[in-house]
Amino acid sequence: MTRASRSVASPRVVCIEDFRPIARRRIPKSVFDYLDGGAEGEVTLRENCRVFNDVTFRPRHAVAIAECGLCTTVLGFSLSLPFLLAPVGYSRLMHPGGEVAAARAAGKAGTPYILSTISGHKLEDVRRASSGPVFYQLYLMGGRGAAEASIERARAAGFNALVVTIDTPVAGIRERDYRNGMKELVSGSVFEKIPYLPQLLSRPGWLASYLLDGGLPGLPNVVIPGKGPMPLVDINAALAESAVTWADLRWIRDLWKGPIVVKGVLTADDARRSMDEGAAAISVSNHGGRQLDGVPASLRALPEVVKAVNGQIEILMDGGIRRGTDVAKALCMGARGVLCGRAYAYGLAAAGEAGVDRAIQILRTDLERTLRLLGCPSVNALDRSYVNVPKDWD
């Protein structure tokens, strides 16, 4: 066992929540709060997790289960687990291994890694790091030329699907980022950074690894034609350029011949529109409570979308997954798989790749235990008969 994996072994880390204080102690407040926080009053952020309590299980007891099946398929790819690693911006600020470490951990576990456009490692290196499927999450920052170039690079590198996020006409106001000087730290002058430097100096271990990694990473996957890679910008500047419209989806579809996942669907209307525009799958998502505060929790939005899609395309969901029971509830409610973002990113921030491995291990063993306790032999057999859903949800 390495030092990093010892640092996140049981009993220090027994559940995903246990990573949080370790991550908080290891990384600067600005980076931790970027990961941990949401928009405005963080109502949707909290609701994403809380809402899982509204759905309760209906187990089948005294059922013998020799083997528990966790395997499934998403977009035709065989996965060992029904949870995928969601795109998480600025992962390389959380740990130098960043996106490469997370992709390697996902590959070892037999599940896809989804690389955010706001990433610090080259997409080619991320592709090489994983032995499994890798998807690219596209933002249009840097303009259409930059997006076309990254779509072409993703194709040439062997990415398996494109994930287009549709809920970012502007960035949600993440109040913690303003207070912590996230903008000044990533894109301000030295003078502007000064008031916010003490928080970096109070994390010497992180600071040493960050400096050894070369300091501010830049955005190697947003290459502006004739100019080169975009320097790192704060989330407001990034998302202000990232608005995607249905018309954009059309030219993206012409360029990308593989499957497209539309991420950020919360209503039947957007689900139908995604299908009309040729999405192979959608992710029911409120961007982890980071965009419009006050929209429903993802799980709460799932029944409306499941009904509208009526089995025609695959449905994923993301938002609030912290336990295997959460994964199971989402699958019972009609999701084919879920995306976990913070659940693994806390692990990444706490201990790099070893932390991501441990987060996946926790969710995997949780899920297997849940299936056994439910008396259900396989994730593919989970359905509404295993849960009580509040009457007004349908």
Ramachandran bin of 182, using left for φ above 0, alpha for ψ from -120 to 50, beta for the remaining angles: alpha
Among the listed residues 61, 95, 121, 287, the single catalytic one is 287
Distances (CA, A) of 38 to 54, 75, 197, 324, 349: 22, 30, 23, 23, 17
Closest-by-Cβ residue to ligand GLV is 89
Among 22, 45, 118, 301, binds ligand GLV (CB under 6 A): 118
**Sign of the alpha-carbon dihedral angle for 255, 164, 219, 125:** negative
DSSP-derived letter for residue 50 is: H
Residue 371 CB, nearest approach to ligand GLV (Å): 32
Q: Could you give the CA distance from residue 355 to residue 252 in angstroms, rounded to a whole number?
A: 35
Site for ligand GLV contains 89 (CB under 6 A)? yes
Site for ligand GLV contains 120 (CB under 6 A)? no
Contacts of 157 (CB under 8 A, 6+ apart): 123, 124, 127
Residue 115 CB, nearest approach to ligand GLV (Å): 12
287 has catalytic annotation = yes
Residue 287 CB, nearest approach to ligand GLV (Å): 6
Site for ligand GLV contains 235 (CB under 6 A)? yes
Six-digit token string for 367:
């899920």
Binding mask 267-296 for ligand GLV (x = CB under 6 A): --------------------x--x------
Site for ligand GLV contains 39 (CB under 6 A)? no
Output 284 or 308, the one with its CB closest to ligand GLV. 284
Strand, helix or coil at 384? helix
Site for ligand GLV contains 329 (CB under 6 A)? no
CA atoms within 13 Å, Cβ hemisphere of 234: 19
Output 27 or 308, the one with its CB closest to ligand GLV. 27
Output 92 or 329, the one with its CB closest to ligand GLV. 92
Torsion of CA 229, 99, 198, 20, to 10 degrees: 150
Output 79 or 161, the one with its CB closest to ligand GLV. 161
Which spans of this chain sit near ligand GLV (rule: CB under 6 A)? Answer: 89, 118, 235, 287, 290
What residues are annotated to the active site?
Answer: 287
